[in-house]
Amino acid sequence: MKKTIVLSLLLASLNAFGQHTTELKGYIKNIVADTLILAKSHEDMRYNGVEIPVSAGQEFSFNLRYEDVEEYAIVYKSDLNKGSWRPINFFPTSPTIEFELFPMQEYQKNVIKGDEMAIRKKQYQEEFSQQFAQKGNEIYGELFQYEKGTEKFNKLKVRLDSLNKEALAFHYDYFLNDKSILGLNEYVFLLQSADQMMIPSSLFESYQEFYLRKLPDHPLTERAYNLYTALSSIKVGYDYIDILLDDGKEKTQKLSEVIDQKKYTILDLWSPWCGPCIKKSLILKEKYSSLSKDIQIVGVVGGIDEAAKAKKAISRFKYPWKNYIEVANNDKIWEKYGIANSGGAQFLIDKNGKILAINPDPEKLLEIIDQN
């Protein structure tokens, strides 16, 4: 008789006050035993998600409760621990979804039954790829051979912008009369990938309002707003974005209430597992006695799933400035500052609230302040 593993552990972010339920069930193939991590597809799986133990020959079953249909992802915990993983994405659009899951190196063998939206997404991606993949790969391949700002780079960038403009128009036309979340989902993916794909915020401007109106109460709409705002506004010379800061003691303040307008401010967003972030913060710690006359540092610990991990990191590093806490992206700070799914970044803000630099090294930081 086949054994069934049924999990009742439900993560709050996945299941709180859920109005709908989809049963996820299936088998793993060519793996003796592992653990599946299940989270929303846009979430950083290093600190989000629920664990589902799986073993060969045993059917796993998990009841996913949710308020809104969103794209979810599954990865093997063993791959996550190795630092290399490939998510298996799906939409909970039916009462039951069945899986046959293979190791990452056999990814193409994965089978998902009962997810019609995933089939539609694949069809869209295939048509999108036929239209733009070859041209895009050729331009990107040439572009990376030249230094940014050179004549050849700039000419290729013009071609790339033209191609991306066509791609966004194709996407808009494809989903113009679609009532589902798929068009918005793929639009949010393009926003999230914009920096990597070198798509300027100006190309999204014509479409942003359309997608914000499409499903105004869906969580993806807030995400589209945050990502577009970050893409268009988190730039040198622009105003900083106000955010809510949690001190971990049930007290919150706005960043604007914390900033000392008589000083420059470094907004230091960091995660306990981000080595480069910590290295930069430790350099600031060494120089803090001389910097503190002119500079205020506001730290925020993120990339964590519980406050205890932030408090432990704060206690360990003993930074001489105040550090606030962002648990499980609760206030979307990383998203609002355009660094979603990263360890962190530093932002230098002048006395007038303008962003002077993003991720400057300490020497550059002092140079910028001297010049201003």
Kindly state whether residue 60 falls inside one of the protein's structural domains: yes
Residue 239 falls within a domain, yes or no?
Answer: no
Tell me which of 114, 130, 158 is where a domain ends. 114
Whole-angstrom distance, CA of residue 126 vs CA of residue 186:
13
The residues, ordered by sequence, that sit 6+ positions from 360 with a Cβ below 8 Å of its Cβ are 346, 348, 368
Q: Does residue 238 belong to any structural domain of this protein?
A: no
Mean pLDDT computed over 262-289: 95
User: Which residue range(s) make up the domain with 212?
Assistant: 117-233
The number of C-alpha atoms within 13 Å of 55 and in the hemisphere containing its C-beta is 7
Q: How many domains does the chain have?
A: 3
Same domain for 253 and 364, yes or no, is yes
pLDDT at 287 over 50: yes
Q: The whole model's pTM is what?
A: 0.89
pLDDT value at position 366?
Answer: 75
pLDDT over 90 at 52, yes or no: yes
**Which of 233, 266, 284 is the endpoint of a domain?**
233
Are 166 and 214 in a shared domain?
yes
Are 157 and 54 found together in one domain? no
| Claim to verify: residue 303 and residue 357 sit in the same structural domain | yes
Same domain, 208 and 276: no
Domain co-membership, 96 together with 124: no
| 256 and 360 within one domain | yes
13-39 residue pLDDT tens: 444 445 899 999 999 999 999 999 999
- The reply to whether 326 falls in a domain is yes
